[in-house]
């Protein structure tokens, strides 16, 4: 689903942020991306959600070399990727419903074709009572659930999340990961960058650790959590 072959990245005259990174994330996988501040996590995610180009090497998404895509094909590929940011990036003057449906309106879909789905999705993420609210009236966790709903409304094959729990309390952080877990169980490939060890250590998903420009694959053995018995990780992706 996501493959990086010998990918390097540097900004202008700066040092290499990514050095010869090789990565293969199969369809339906869920990986955490960890590493110290400045290690290049956001930079790596940007390569994958097509906001940046590698300085060297190849990025393949859904079997396609992204460097070979036309502008139109790139736009189509982008629609297969849902992105969730730490700071939510909701549009202040639009209601939650209008924020979540924006990608559909941009794609020219008629409201009658999606209205019911959106209401069900907002119910599913626990925002059924806030459909017409403005973002400023929601808590951090609620805003992030709205942002996740917006990221998944187009049914992307891949969700990229950059510190999605950075602005919510630890308990909400766990709930947000569980929500992403549910989407992963339905087949969505997920890559989630986080600093937060107390978060990733509670889930069985393998971890990609980025440091000094290199990636290490680490199987993750979750610490027991009272509410969620989780199977021990049994794969290390190479």
Ligand X SMILES: Nc1ncnc2c1ncn2[C@@H]1O[C@H](COP(=O)(O)OP(=O)(O)OP(=O)(O)O)[C@@H](O)[C@H]1O
Task: Report the interface residues with ligand X, using CB under 6 A.
Answer: 11, 14, 17, 35, 37-43, 195
Report how far residue 238's alpha carbon sits from residue 22's, in angstroms, rounded to the nearest whole number.
9
- Helix, strand or coil for residue 55? coil
Report how far residue 127's alpha carbon sits from residue 147's, in angstroms, rounded to the nearest whole number.
11
CB of 125 to ligand X, least distance (A): 25
**Site for Mg ion contains 167 (CB under 5 A):** no
Report how far residue 107's alpha carbon sits from residue 132's, in angstroms, rounded to the nearest whole number.
22
Nearer to ligand X by C-beta: 52 or 78?
52
CB of 147 to Mg ion, least distance (A): 16
Q: Give yes or no for a contact between 8 and 16, defined as CB atoms under 8 angstroms apart.
A: yes
Nearer to ligand X by C-beta: 23 or 39?
39
Nearer to ligand X by C-beta: 182 or 211?
211
**Site for Mg ion contains 64 (CB under 5 A):** no
Q: Is the CA virtual torsion 42, 48, 49, 54 positive or negative?
A: positive
40 interface partner picked from Mg ion, ligand X, none, CB below 5 to 8 A per type: ligand X
Report how far residue 209's alpha carbon sits from residue 35's, in angstroms, rounded to the nearest whole number.
5
Instruction: Tell me the window of 8-16, 37-45, 54-62, 224-232 that interacts with Mg ion (CB under 5 A).
Output: 37-45
* Residues at the contact surface with Mg ion, assessed by CB under 5 A: 41-42
């Amino acid at each position: 689903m996501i493959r990086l072959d010998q990918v390097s990245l540097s900004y202008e005259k700066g040092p290499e942020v990514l050095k010869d990174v090789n990565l293969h994330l199969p369809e339906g996988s869920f990986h955490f991306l960890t590493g110290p501040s400045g290690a290049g996590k956001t930079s790596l995610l940007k390569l994958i959600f097509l906001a940046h180009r590698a300085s060297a090497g190849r990025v393949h998404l859904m079997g396609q070399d992204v460097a070979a895509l036309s502008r139109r094909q790139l736009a189509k590929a982008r629609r297969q990727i849902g992105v969730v940011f730490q700071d939510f990036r909701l549009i202040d003057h639009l209601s939650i419903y209008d924020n979540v449906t924006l990608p559909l309106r941009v794609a020219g879909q008629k409201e009658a074709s999606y209205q019911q789905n959106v209401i069900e999705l907002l119910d599913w993420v626990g925002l059924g009572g806030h459909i017409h609210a403005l973002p400023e009236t929601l808590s951090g966790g609620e805003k992030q659930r709205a942002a996740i709903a917006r990221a998944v409304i187009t049914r992307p094959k891949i969700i990229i999340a950059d510190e999605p729990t950075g602005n919510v309390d630890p308990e909400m952080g766990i709930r947000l990961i569980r929500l992403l877990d549910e989407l992963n169980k339905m087949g969505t490939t997920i890559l989630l960058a986080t600093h937060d060890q107390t978060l990733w250590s509670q889930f069985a998903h393998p971890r990609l650790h980025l440091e000094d420009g290199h990636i290490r694959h680490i199987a993750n053995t979750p610490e027991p959590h009272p509410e969620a018995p989780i199977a021990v990780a049994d794969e290390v992706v190479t």
